[in-house]
A and B are shown apart, each in its own frame.
Chain A
Amino acid sequence: SQTIHQWPATLVQPVGSPLSLECTVEGTSNPNLYWYRQAAGRGLQLLFYSVGIGQISSEVPQNLSASRPQDRQFILSSKKLLLSDSGFYLCAWTGMVGDRVDGYTFGSGTRLTVV
């Protein structure tokens, strides 16, 4: 069965420090991968998505970047964190069976506090 792993669960980082959050998926190949952010009490905002290795689409201009070095690995990064980068970061994956969507599942999330 497919599983998605996301770490760390919580992170406190000072302003100006770098960031690297990692997400991996097991039990599937060529998944679509997504990074979302959720501010406290707010809805989900799509940050990046990837349909294959090295293919990254950005939905909003921001202080963050994403990379997909391997088929089942998705990384969210920043060179210098801002206070406004605080939030709940969620990785998600979806697969396709023919032209039918095969689930859309979230990782457990990383709560980032920039201080």
Chain B
Amino acid sequence: GQNIDQPTEMTATEGAIVQINCTYQTSGFNGLFWYQQHAGEAPTFLSYNVLDGLEEKGRFSSFLSRSKGYSYLLLKELQMKDSASYLCAAMDSNYQLIWGAGTKLIIKP
């Protein structure tokens, strides 16, 4: 079957670095997406990885290993506004997204 696993909740300190892991199993693979979702709002796109390796965008980076079915989202220089849920989603061979349940990230001062 198809499955996405990510931690339910993580806590980190303002100014620190946090890594949110995601493992996936899909029928075929057409890329891995990360989204940020603040409470009561729509998800906003953070990154899309289809090739192995690390992609950096400012304070956020995303890594993919297709052979391991593994991705992580790295957030640096954490700010209070980074408190949100982070959603991992893998796209299968039919171009459908398989969603994780999301990781709630709590930032403490």
Task: Name A's B-contacting residues (CB within 8 A).
Answer: 32, 42-44, 46, 49, 88, 90, 94, 96, 100-101, 103-109, 111
Contacts and interface: CB of A to CB of B under 8 A. Distances in A.
Contact of A49 (B33, B41, B96): B96
8 contacts: A43-B102, A46-B96, A90-B43, A94-B95, A100-B50, A101-B91, A107-B42, A111-B40
Contacts of B89: 104
Given A44-B87, A49-B96, A94-B95, A104 B45 contact: yes
A43 B100 contact: yes
B93 to A, nearest CB: 11
Interface string B37-53: 00011111100101000
Nearest to A106: B42
A26 B87 CA distance: 25
B43 A106 contact: yes
Contacts of A105: 45
A43 B43 CA distance: 11
B48 A106 contact: no
Q: Which of A46, A96, A101 has the most CB of B within 10 A?
A: A101
